[in-house]
Amino acid sequence: MSAPISVCTLGSGRADHLRNLVAGLAMNRVTPAELVVGVMQDEPYDLPDTPFPVRQHVLGSGRLTLSAARNRAAVEAANERLVFLDIDCIPDPDLVGDYDARMDLTGGILMGEVLYLPKGATDGGLDFAAFARAGVKHSERSGPPVTPLGDCTDYRCFWSLNFAMRRSEFLDIGGFDESFVGYGGEDTDFGRTAAEAGLPFHWTRGARAYHQYHPHHMPPVHHLDSVLANTHRFRDKWGHVTMEHWLKAFTLMGLVERRGHDFVRVRETEDRDLALTAQQSDQPYASSARVLAMLEAERPALADA
């Protein structure tokens, strides 16, 4: 390894997922120098022994502060090269080595591959050959480049699930904006901030992570209020809204109306909304595009408005 790498993650619950992430890192052909965990609960995790140090920083329970947890992990990291993984990600045995090799080539933000695993894929332990066969690419995300690095020219494609960058560049742009509380918007804001600072974005071939199954909703009706609050926060900061596809779906569902410059909830979320947006047990991921297409077909007049 040309330089030591700190892996950063964050978590609240999903202890089995974090243990799989840790076990995956322990199986990497290039061993990370450390794992730093921003713990968004009152107690640290009970984790397996590892060939590298694991440092947990307990932030406590309360409001969901993904930005603060990621920032804390980055600040506490001991090394210049950082890899950020979501708690649901199991790193492929080549992930750390791939990022290390790619970071020798360039600066800026590197975004590795992600494949989604179906329900039950990890029941027999970590079998990476089986994961490669069963994992699927998200239909709404770009595929990996043919070459080791590919240019990404749209900051809106930034995805905090699996990325790497230098700690100095992360700190120079201020990390994630901690005023984004709850779900939604912080990734796009981080991407915009990085783009404004002139940092390049690179799709990365390899550096693969396998996303572990968990039930989810897309668009995220279970986080509607924080999505609306963060939409307005982004608009006040940058002059335009983000998460437009979610807002359009919420509007077609009759949950939200646009009033002037604001998006306002007009009714409570009901069981039918959760049923429409729920990830089915046979689906490796939930799809906003699928739901939006259904809504647009049912309400074409509103869809064109």
Ranges of each domain in the chain = 5-211, 221-303
Average pLDDT in the 160-189 region? 97
pLDDT in tens, 196-252: 999 999 999 999 999 999 988 999 999 999 999 999 999 999 999 999 999 999 999
Average pLDDT in the 2-28 region? 96
Distance CA 136, CA 115 (A): 5
Query: 5-211 — its CATH code?
Result: 3.90.550.10
22: pLDDT strictly greater than 90: yes
305: pLDDT strictly greater than 60: no
pLDDT in tens, 141-151: 888 999 999 99
Distance CA 154, CA 162 (A): 17
Q: Which of 299, 222, 218, 185 is nearest to 253 (CA)?
A: 299
Task: Point out which residues pair with 82 in neighbouring strands.
Answer: 6, 165
pLDDT in tens, 244-284: 999 999 999 999 999 998 999 999 999 999 999 987 667 78
- Residue 282 neighbours by CB under 8 Å, 6+ apart: 118, 119
Residue 298: band (very low, low, confident or very high) from pLDDT cuts 50, 70, 90: confident
291: pLDDT strictly greater than 60: yes
- One-letter amino acid of 222: H
Distance CA 30, CA 98 (A): 9
Distance CA 175, CA 193 (A): 9
pTM, two decimals, is 0.94
Which two structure tokens, joined as six digits, stand for 94?
């080549």
